[in-house]
Amino acid sequence: MNLQNSTLAIIGLGYVGLPLAVEFGKLRPVIGFDINPKRIAELQAGQDHTLECSPEELAAATHLRYSCTAQDLQQAQVYIVTVPTPVDQANRPDMTPLVKASTTVGQALKKGDVVIYESTVYPGATEEVCVPVLERESGLKFNQDFFCGYSPERINPGDKVNTLTTIKKITSGSTPEVADEVDALYNSIIKAGTWKASSLKVAEAAKVIENTQRDLNIAFVNELSVIFERIGIDTLEVLEAAGSKWNFLPFRPGMVGGHCIGVDPYYLTHKAEELGYHPQVILAGRRINDNMARYVARNTIKRMICNGMDVARCRIGILGITFKENCPDIRNSKVVDMVREFQSWGAQVVVADSWADAAEVQAEYGIQLSVVDAANPVDALVVAVGHNNHRAMSMEDLRRLCRSDKPVLADVKSLFDRHAAAAAGFTVFRL
């Protein structure tokens, strides 16, 4: 077996799949496959609405072609699956995209082919969920006629420093020989090198705990924020003081959304519960983080009421709805929970975000993006996402957006000097 001369098929051209297809497409034949014809047309036109790849980067992938036709996958010998792995409304893993992608790949699978999964899953999911689908659809036998690998994605949307090729890649294979081939395949594009795990399960587990660890650390500082607010001291000041020690971890409180940190821990706890163990620390962290958007909303409302405002007659402006700064990704945005909480109090909520796609926000959440400006001022202002254009705003800019004599400023990311904000007339809340 030699994967170095193989044609690759990348299944799913989102934030993970497209950069992968582009890098491989600079060196070898690659079929970039996505079920969305509009996405294929966009990429064929040399544009990427996720902003992960520039037109110049797309043009550099001279061996990459795009398709939404499943029959084209039969030309490949290696399939890399990069579809989303979300949770449902009850926070249970939704394996539907992964099963559908495995079905499509299985119908194109031939003897000697290799299927590599990058989607984040619980340990054992590749062999327990995906392999049976591949065998059923292809009529082939796992580790006899076809093989599998697992190399978890480590993409950080919007990050132009820590990119695909500069982050060490975990690799694994279903046999020692396949593991060597998969590792060599990724080493051909990953400048930072690779880390070959001993099994698919080890690689799967390594990925899911990366984000679970971050989730728990953020939950810890979020809980500190709740405690310090009651004590009457500023959380950021405390964290900066503690950060003077060399080994203090620089986590900051905030709302945990997106497709990874706010989702992946549920995959691990799902597997643990299947095995008869009820995780306590992990789920406690999830409960804290899932409640932070409503916590911000309620503290904003509390200050509005203390300032004599009738919340049901007020306009509340929210700057930002993407799940992170300088990125158009709105998946699992916790700002939506904040909007719903404000609306439950009868307030009129205006959401503005120049990074987000208005049609996507409307379709996904039923929220119509608008503008928050001096012509349409608000009574309370929530700066929810730390986009660069938000960070660049002055106190005068913020004050012009508000019509009340005693406006409330909820500075979720602690972007602004709280003393300067108070001097400008704001009643300030921040995590």
Catalytic residue positions? 260
- CA dihedral 281→282→287→292, nearest 10 degrees, is 100
Residues contacting 303, CB < 8 A, separation 6+: 380, 408, 427, 429
Residues making up the chain, counted from first to last = 431
- CA distance linking residue 320 with residue 161, whole number of Å: 23
CB 31, CB 43: distance < 8 Å: no
CB 172, CB 199: distance < 8 Å: yes
- CA distance linking residue 24 with residue 14, whole number of Å: 15
CB 87, CB 52: distance < 8 Å: no
Quick one: which of 41, 44, 50, 45 has its CA closest to 82?
A: 50
Hey, what are 407's tokens? 């406006």
CB 70, CB 104: distance < 8 Å: yes
Residues contacting 11, CB < 8 A, separation 6+: 17, 33, 73, 79, 80, 81, 82, 83, 101, 104, 105
